[in-house]
Structure 1
Amino acid sequence: MQRTTITLDDALAAELDAHMAATGATSRSETIRDLVRRGLSTVAGGPAEAGCFGVISCTIDQSVRNLAARVPQSRLDRHDQTVAALSVPLDHSTSLDVVVMRGRVADVTSYAEALFLERGVMHGTVGLIPVAEDTTRHVHNDGPPREHTHLKVRSSF
């Protein structure tokens, strides 16, 4: 393990301590490691060809011309990657949309980035869950063993 020394101003140190209290972390080092790990996974996103599930969330101003039609159409255009979608009305013109997609990191992140650039889309975030396919031969229920694929959630990309 590498030792790194950092200096934080008082306000940032207080925010870090408040985050520790809220999450139940036992030390600043543990908290900073967790925040760095999450920050790097968001920035790096993983290798472009790696498999993942992406959870994309954003708010959508439904009053922006054609946006209410374009966003669902963009999911239909990617029907082979879209696993689920949920739209929750927040007020008279804004909805919170959550989409779960499956595919390569490059495909999921490019869809999310294009969505976030649309006028009327705000507060966009994407979370990536690394997965790998595992082909095995075994029995489900009755019958002979057969080869098929299972997804395995990985700890990192």
Structure 2
Amino acid sequence: MQRVTVTIDDELMGALDRYMEAGGHQNRSEAVRDLVRAGLLKEPKTDGARNCIAALVYVYDHETRQLSKKLVHDHHSHADMSIATLHVHLDEATCLEVSLLKGQKSEVEHFAGHLIGERGVRYGQLVVVPAETEEAEKTHGRRHALPQG
């Protein structure tokens, strides 16, 4: 392990200390390592040709005219990208969906941006995880049989 010295202003140090406490980190070094790992997971926009797996989380008003129909149509139009969707009714007019997507990073980001940009979508966020090679996908993506009996 290497030791690094960093100068941080008081305001940012206060934010780091709050992050450390909220996350249950034992010390600042753990918190900083956690933040660095999270930052390194975010690939630069230039890596748009790489494959990825992503979770798109969005909240929308299902009473917005034709919105539910548009969202379903958009998902069907991108069926090759869609792995699964979880739909939850938050209240009488609000729904939350979590859509798991796969494909070329730039295409997944474009699709997510389109959905999030629809009128009536109140919140949206995309979390992108780089996909490994095709061989790793075969190993990790394999369905495991349940024991019979």
Place the TM-score, normalised by the shorter chain, in its bin: 0.7 to 0.9
User: Which residue number corresponds to residue 100 of structure 1?
Assistant: 100
| C-alpha contact 1:42 1:127 (8 A) present in aligned 2 | no
Q: Which of 138, 142, 145 is the aligned partner of 1:150?
A: 138
After superposition, the C-alpha distances for 1:45-86 in whole angstroms (9 at most, x for unaligned) are: 671111111100010111111111111111100001100011
Higher helix content, 1 or 2 = 2
> Which AA in structure 1 matches 2:69?
A
- Tell me, yes or no, if structure 1 residue 7 matches structure 2 residue 29: no
Cα separation, 1, equivalents of 2:6 and 2:16: 15
Q: TM-score when scaled to structure 2?
A: 0.78
Unaligned residue ranges in structure 2 (runs of 5+): 142-149
Cα gap change, 1:108 to 1:63, in 2 (>3 Å): same
Cα gap change, 1:108 to 1:4, in 2 (>3 Å): farther
User: Which residue number corresponds to residue 69 of structure 1?
Assistant: 69
Q: TM-score when scaled to structure 1?
A: 0.75
Shift of 1:152: 5.0
Cα separation, 2, equivalents of 1:68 and 1:103: 24
User: Which residue number corresponds to residue 111 of structure 1?
Assistant: 111
- Map 1:1-157 onto structure 2 (within 5 A): 3=4, 5-10=6-11, 12-39=12-39, 41-42=41-42, 44=44, 47-132=47-132, 133-134=134-135, 150=138, 152=140
Higher strand content, 1 or 2 = 1
Runs of 4+ in 1 over 4 A off after TM superposition: none
After superposition, the C-alpha distances for 1:7-52 in whole angstroms (9 at most, x for unaligned) are: 2334x43442232233232332332332244245447367111111
- Percent of aligned pairs with the same amino acid: 30
Q: How many residues of Structure 1 are paired with residues of Structure 2 in the alignment?
A: 139
| C-alpha contact 2:112 2:126 (8 A) present in aligned 1 | yes
Cα gap change, 1:122 to 1:9, in 2 (>3 Å): farther
CA RMSD, aligned part only?
2.5
Cα separation, 2, equivalents of 1:24 and 1:117: 35
Unaligned residue ranges in structure 1 (runs of 5+): 136-148
> Which AA in structure 2 matches 1:150?
K
